[in-house]
Chains A and B, each alone.
Chain A
Amino acid sequence: MTLTANKIALSEKYTELFHAHRSMLDAGSSSLLNRMRDIAIKRFEKTGIPGFKNENYKYTNLERVFDKDYRHILEYEQVDVDLNEAFRCDVPQLDTHVVLLVNGWYYAKNQPLQNLPKGVVVGSLKQVANEQPELVQEYLNRQAALSDDPIVALNTAFAQDGFFMHVPDHVVFEKPVQVINIMRSQDAIFATQRNLIVVGKNSQAKVIFCDHTMSSRDFLTNNVTEVFVGQDAVVDIYTVQNQNNQANSVNSSFFKQEANSNLLSSVATLHGGLIRNNLKVEMAGEHAEANLYGMSFTDKKQHVDNFTNIEHAQPNCLSNQVYKYVLDEDSVGAFAGRIHVVRDAQKTNAFQRNNNVLLTDSAKMNTKPQLIIDADDVKCSHGATIGQIDEEALFYLRARGIGEADARMMLMNAFAHEVVQNIRVEPLRDRIDELVEKRLRGELAYCHSCDRH
């Protein structure tokens, strides 16, 4: 009984916070953002912070992280970040446009990006919504509003700023945009970040999100990213999550794909506290293709949960998911993947695989792959395995004079490489390979370049 009472009190804490600071949230924000708040907070109130009794959060209890006392970042705060430090996150041999976001807000000292193709807009969601509302209006909250996740609703209620990108029709935007999300504060903070990416017809774009922390405090971020992939467009979204182990985050990404579009999403989770990644893909046009990859390397008390939901709403689409976990020490992993083929979405090909390696007896893995198929002419499969490194492969290597530790490392690298190799930007692929290797060797104490300890 006390559990329920707690849950209600916890949810009330957030609704009260909302009502008390309503004017602060509205101030300076576009009416496009402000008009969504009332409905969103009501939607949040209905469910509250999901506990483990919520089927979608069965293996990740968010009450634990939402229960802490945070200072809420409800307006832009000047935080000094040395741009050079942030630039050290740079990927060698990869020329990117760098955009910095601090505690969920677009950093005021960001240099305007040079040499953008004609019509491309990259910047702060808050600013663009105020100055060019026509770019935002048609897209903002069009996907997130359909979600029944209370945490997404909470984001919509509190959303003020975040990353925005608009690529018009028929533009090939070659140079990737690197969005560096930095959390830095002397006290525990809660941040809300709202991103919107729109890629028009027959266009191409690549975005790399890097999540980092620059101080070791308790953090909680609630991110929502909506991505619109136009007809015949090609979009790559890469995410590297490498924060301190007290930094918790809930990241919800929504992708809507039009006909013949191609999407690649790859998430690498290296360090962090409790991380939950929600990923929803809607195939809204025929012949769309989505490739979704995830890898997670955890130790200590880390908790990583990837929750995907692929909706095949149109025939002739292809989706392919591969998620791999390596769990060490007391870490807990969870994966839930759902493929939903709606009635008459014939000739759908949907594949999903989840492979996990447990390195200790105290690590835990929970996996929940699901298929919901309402059309008959489809090819769908899912596979899940939980086990260890293949002893025979290990023996093979050792028989050839490779020490056990090295052999294990090689096999683990190979295990991860299956996911890494799908990254379509070569320098980034090498960089992530290197990060993964360091992570597996235990050399990567937080992100080696952003580490401030």
Chain B
Amino acid sequence: MEEQDKILQEVTSQEYKFGFVSDFESDSIPKGLNEDVIRTISAKKNEPEFMLQFRLDAYRKWLKMPIPDWAYLKIPPIDFQDIIYYSAPKKKPQYESLDEVDPDLIETFNKLGIPLEEQKVLAGVAVDAVIDSVSVKTTFKETLAEKGVIFCSFSEAVKEHPDLVKKYLGMSVPTSDNFFAALNSAVFSDGSFCYIPKGVRCPMELSTYFRINAAGTGQFERTLIVAEDDSYVSYLEGCTAPMRDENQLHAAVVEIIAMDRAEVKYSTVQNWYPGNKEGKGGVYNFVTKRGICRGESSKISWTQVETGSAITWKYPSVIMMGDNSVGEFNSVAVTNNHQQADTGTKMIHIGKNTKSTIVSKGISAGLSDNSYRGLVKVLPGAVNSRNFSQCDSLLLGSTCGAHTFPYIEVGNKSSIVEHEATTSKIGEDQIFYCNQRGISTEDAIGMIVNGYAKEVLNKLPMEFAVEAQKLLAISLEGSVG
């Protein structure tokens, strides 16, 4: 307690030392959360009545919920009244040229092979309009519009397609789902909306990649993807470059709805700021992601590469309602230093002949803790269902932890569920073999880890896979003694 007070004192005195003045921009609201704040957010965004009701409903439910404490995580207390829930896009520090940017960051960019112009965008260097991601996005939009695909920001969707938003919002993640989803539903600022009409195969991979410097999506992001009958879309989220975000708490929600024979492929590379080597700072990432296979023979697959965040709390799930529907989850989660991750999936089999596959690869290094937590539930009506789960953990160093918490519930005799998990370290013989062939220990570990994660990385779209591979090596840098 004393130490906390001391830190608090230091922080407060610092503010005064530098003559901190709270100069709220014209359209931001004070800290704290109450119904008035939610009304204000909704009013500022000119939202229709149903959105306000959705938010208020979520807020009232949120008030009654306790913070979940079941995860294998040490979550420091979060003061929800100490957060500004709506503010004008925060201006990131603007640099005149790349020379001013932290050299470490530049080095990381180079290792990832990110083109110079893009590096500038990511690092927050002022860029001229020609390569501005916004213009790139606009060109894409025209191609998409020809096919009838709607891909826009959430606020835009609320204004232009309120009927679609009203119909699908909250369908797979209801407001009362969990503490962080309820909070997100009450205060979400923006996000993406994607609608693929019947029979359309989306011609390109949709990505939020290009929006990174169009700030403002902020802490509480909301994504809604609807795939109508016989459609297909592959959606990429995130960015392999390190994001130096000041927001401590992120509570995002992603909803996917797949109708008859539709297929949605959702890939994420998450690389938020993980905090420094001593475990100070870093993003708390509490994400609710869920897809519903509403139609028969529909398919939803989640692929994720998690390397960032101080705390990751994330369980992308699939509810297989339609007969013959398929759910997939492929994950690589890397934790280093003081990072903590509790991630996994839920596969709920409701329809007949539904199939799901789970492949989870955890890699822990440093002082980190990495947990897999998953549920496979086969309801009595889900006859002939099939699940296969495999979760492997790799430990690098004796001070980290790898944990597995699978839950399997089966309610009929014709379903088959298999689960296997292993925990091990990189064999000394494997390293020796590489050393013998002139490969340094560090490179050898990188190679072995990549080979270990290959099964999942292969599921990523091409351009992501290459970067993700390099990212793995960077995340584990220095973890080998």
Chain A residues with CB under 8 Å of chain B are 55, 343-344, 346, 356, 358-388
Interface size on B, residues (CB 8 A): 36
Q: Taking A384-B418, A384-B420 as given, write out 10 further A-B residue pairs in contact, using a Cβ cutoff of 8 Å, ordered by the A residue number.
A: A344-B398, A356-B410, A358-B413, A361-B412, A361-B414, A369-B421, A381-B421, A384-B417, A388-B413, A388-B414
A368 and B401 contact, Cβ closer than 8 Å, known pairs A361-B412, A381-B421, A381-B422: no
A359 near B413 (CB under 8 angstroms)?
A: yes
Contact of B418 among A372, A376, A385 (CB under 8 A): A385
A385 and B412 contact, Cβ closer than 8 Å, known pairs A362-B380, A369-B406, A373-B402: no
A386 and B421 contact, Cβ closer than 8 Å, known pairs A371-B404, A377-B398: no
Q: Which residues in A have their C-beta under 8 angstroms from that of B418?
A: 383-385, 387
A376 near B396 (CB under 8 angstroms)?
A: yes
- The answer to the question of B35 belonging to the interface, with a C-beta cut-off of 8 Å to chain A, is no
Interface positions of B from 373 to 410, Cβ below 8 Å from A: 380, 383, 393, 395-410
B415 near A386 (CB under 8 angstroms)?
A: yes
Q: Which residues in B have their C-beta under 8 angstroms from that of A363?
A: 413
Q: How far is A373 from B409 in the complex, measured between Cα atoms in Å? A: 24
- The answer to the question of B139 belonging to the interface, with a C-beta cut-off of 8 Å to chain A, is no
Closest to A376 in B: B395
B415 near A373 (CB under 8 angstroms)?
A: no
Q: Which residues in A have their C-beta under 8 angstroms from that of B436?
A: none
B420 near A371 (CB under 8 angstroms)?
A: no
Q: How far is A380 from B392 in the complex, measured between Cα atoms in Å? A: 10
A382 and B404 contact, Cβ closer than 8 Å, known pairs A55-B70, A363-B413, A371-B421: yes
B413 near A366 (CB under 8 angstroms)?
A: no
Q: How far is A387 from B385 in the complex, measured between Cα atoms in Å? A: 10
Q: Which residues in B have their C-beta under 8 angstroms from that of A364?
A: 409-411
Interface pairs (30), CB distance under 8 Å: A344-B398, A358-B412, A358-B413, A364-B409, A364-B410, A365-B409, A366-B408, A367-B408, A367-B409, A369-B419, A370-B403, A370-B404, A371-B402, A371-B423, A372-B401, A373-B393, A373-B402, A374-B400, A375-B398, A377-B425, A378-B395, A378-B423, A378-B425, A379-B422, A381-B420, A384-B406, A385-B417, A386-B408, A386-B416, A387-B417
Chain B residues with CB under 8 Å of chain A are 70, 72, 380, 383, 393, 395-425
Min Cβ gap B369→A in Å is: 8
B420 near A382 (CB under 8 angstroms)?
A: yes
A374 near B424 (CB under 8 angstroms)?
A: no
A386 near B395 (CB under 8 angstroms)?
A: no
Q: How far is A140 from B433 in the complex, measured between Cα atoms in Å? A: 53
Q: How far is A343 from B410 in the complex, measured between Cα atoms in Å? A: 34
Closest to A338 in B: B405
B425 near A376 (CB under 8 angstroms)?
A: yes
Q: Which residues in A have their C-beta under 8 angstroms from that of B406?
A: 368-370, 384
A382 near B402 (CB under 8 angstroms)?
A: no
Q: How far is A365 from B413 in the complex, measured between Cα atoms in Å? A: 10
Min Cβ gap B361→A in Å is: 14
Interface centre among B405, B411, B416 (most CB of A within 10 A): B411
The list of the 9 closest CB pairs from A to B, nearest first, reads A376-B395, A387-B416, A371-B404, A358-B413, A380-B423, A383-B420, A374-B401, A386-B417, A386-B410
Q: Which residues in B have their C-beta under 8 angstroms from that of A369?
A: 404, 406, 419, 421
Q: How far is A381 from B425 in the complex, measured between Cα atoms in Å? A: 12
Q: Which residues in A have their C-beta under 8 angstroms from that of B72?
A: 372
B415 near A387 (CB under 8 angstroms)?
A: yes
Q: How far is A233 from B383 in the complex, measured between Cα atoms in Å? A: 49
Q: Which residues in B have their C-beta under 8 angstroms from that of A384?
A: 406, 408, 417-420
Interface centre among B397, B401, B416 (most CB of A within 10 A): B401
Contact of A343 among B393, B398, B421 (CB under 8 A): B398
Closest to B396 in A: A376
Closest to A333 in B: B410
Closest to A351 in B: B422
Min Cβ gap B393→A in Å is: 7
Closest to A365 in B: B410
Closest to A357 in B: B413
Q: Which residues in B have their C-beta under 8 angstroms from that of A388?
A: 413-414, 416
Q: Which residues in B have their C-beta under 8 angstroms from that of A387?
A: 415-418
Q: How far is A370 from B372 in the complex, measured between Cα atoms in Å? A: 10
Q: Which residues in B have their C-beta under 8 angstroms from that of A367?
A: 407-409, 419
